[in-house]
Structure 1
Amino acid sequence: MNFESLNIWCWIIPALVGIISGVLGYLIGKSKNASVVDTSIDVKKLEAENTKLKTDLAACNKKVSTKDTKEKPANIASSLTANEPTTQVFDATEAKAAMGKRIKEDDLKIVEGIGPKIEGLFHNFNIKTWKALSEASTIKCQEVLDSGGDRYRIHDPASWPMQAKMAYEGQWKDLSKWQIKHKAGKF
């Protein structure tokens, strides 16, 4: 056996081992049933819940608009001018009965997601009442949160004006039900 024939085997043997290893690896990988997670059921459930929530929102908006027109009969509505604000009377007893705890008027902490520090941020922006918060846009609420720094980034203020409106209008049972259903953002 000469030196040249030995040199050829030094190339052929590793090449054959590589090819055989590649083919075996492919076959073993293909033979394993790689499980693909089927999330279509979860997506369908979420789409159904989203549709239900949209329907509930439309019903609530209709109820609110109907309630507004019912609360202002023609003779009273005609006597109001643009300069005369309507005022809601706060009923602490009714609030306590529905919410299960004592409620102070215009306490922003009654809104799910707002604690003492976030309430302080809103006060810095001169949003100190339920009415003022109910009239604030979600963008304004996010601006208030952003003013507190990165630590408030996890909060989602999308529902805060709606909750404040329920509190301002004295819809304590509805607010309580909503908060129970959406406790800490979890459904």
Structure 2
Amino acid sequence: MNFDNIWCWLIPLLVGVICAILGYLWGKSNSKTEVIDNSAELKNLNDKNTKLQAELNAAQSKLGAATVTDHTAQLKVDLDTCKGKLKSASATNVVSSLAASGATALAFNAEAAKSAYGKKIKQDDLKIVEGIGPKIEGLFHNFDIKTWKTLSETSIEKCQEVLNSGGERYRIHNPGSWPLQAKMAYEGKWLELVKWQDEHKGGKL
């Protein structure tokens, strides 16, 4: 056997085995390094993700609270606006009803009227006006003038027209002070009205 030929085969074989072992060891070493590096990076990414999630939750909470506050404020404004409109509409309806019915807007104080005249006074009794009797009161009622307020707002010319509608016997009356007297009665100025009538007999100015 030729030993020179054996060493020619054996030496390359040993070198190949040694290279294979070294390659395996080197690859395993790199693999461990990569795993360690990847684990650290993964942990870092997880930490960042947790922090970002916390920030997102906080931002959503603030946004929700701000939205609720904005809606609450807007609802309050809308509610106040509706209340204002309702109050205005109610007041308008009351005034319209009073105007349509000819109702007395001021409260009638029966005791004060009785104290001034010494007798019971009926509300919106036109006969309280000096110069107006039952017949003339009926004429005014025919013209839908049934309250002190309405009479106080009636012109003297209109009062004369009402008298003329009753014929010749009523035309001689002077209605010049009737709206004034009705106004005092409507405003509850009973002492002032009594004094005025005492000084102007027959309702003459």
Q: Please give the TM-score of this superposition, normalised by the length of structure 2.
A: 0.50
The unaligned stretches of length 5 or more in structure 2 are: 1-87, 99-104
Give the distance between the partners of 2:145 and 2:170, measured in 1 at CA.
17
The verdict on how the C-alpha distance between 1:123 and 1:185 changes in structure 2, with shifts beyond 3 A counting, is closer
Report the AA paired with residue 108 of structure 2: F
Report the AA paired with residue 108 of structure 1: L
Deviations 1:36-92 (A, max 9, x none): xxxxxxxxxxxxxxxxxxxxxxxxxxxxxxxxxxxxxxxxxxx89666538210011
Give the distance between the partners of 1:112 and 1:123, measured in 2 at CA.
17
> Secondary structure in 2 aligned to 1:102?
coil
Does the CA-based 8 Å contact 2:174-2:204 persist in structure 1? Answer: no
- Out of 109, 120, 127, the residue aligned to residue 138 of structure 2 is 120
Which residue of structure 2 aligns with residue 146 of structure 1? Answer: 164
Give the distance between the partners of 1:83 and 1:174, measured in 2 at CA.
33
> Secondary structure in 2 aligned to 1:157?
coil
Give the distance between the partners of 2:142 and 2:186, measured in 1 at CA.
20
> Secondary structure in 2 aligned to 1:158?
coil
- Out of 172, 187, 192, the residue aligned to residue 169 of structure 1 is 187
Q: Are 1:130 and 2:148 an aligned pair?
A: yes
Which residue of structure 2 aligns with residue 94 of structure 1? Answer: 112
Give the distance between the partners of 2:163 and 2:117, measured in 1 at CA.
26
Does the CA-based 8 Å contact 2:148-2:185 persist in structure 1? Answer: yes
Does the CA-based 8 Å contact 2:124-2:148 persist in structure 1? Answer: yes
The unaligned stretches of length 5 or more in structure 1 are: 1-78
Give the distance between the partners of 1:172 and 1:112, measured in 2 at CA.
13
Q: Please give the TM-score of this superposition, normalised by the length of structure 1.
A: 0.54
Give the distance between the partners of 2:184 and 2:195, measured in 1 at CA.
11
Q: Are 1:155 and 2:173 an aligned pair?
A: yes
Q: Tell me the CA shift for residue 100 of structure 1.
A: 1.9
Query: Equivalent residues in 2 for 1:31-50 (5 A)?
Result: none
Deviations 1:116-148 (A, max 9, x none): 000000000000010110110000000000000
> Secondary structure in 1 aligned to 2:177?
helix
The verdict on how the C-alpha distance between 1:162 and 1:147 changes in structure 2, with shifts beyond 3 A counting, is same
Aligned-pair identity (%): 69
Q: Tell me the CA shift for residue 154 of structure 1.
A: 1.7
Give the distance between the partners of 2:203 and 2:147, measured in 1 at CA.
23
Pair member with larger Rg: 2
Task: Report how many residues are paired.
Answer: 110
Give the distance between the partners of 2:193 and 2:129, measured in 1 at CA.
9
Q: Tell me the CA shift for residue 102 of structure 1.
A: 1.0
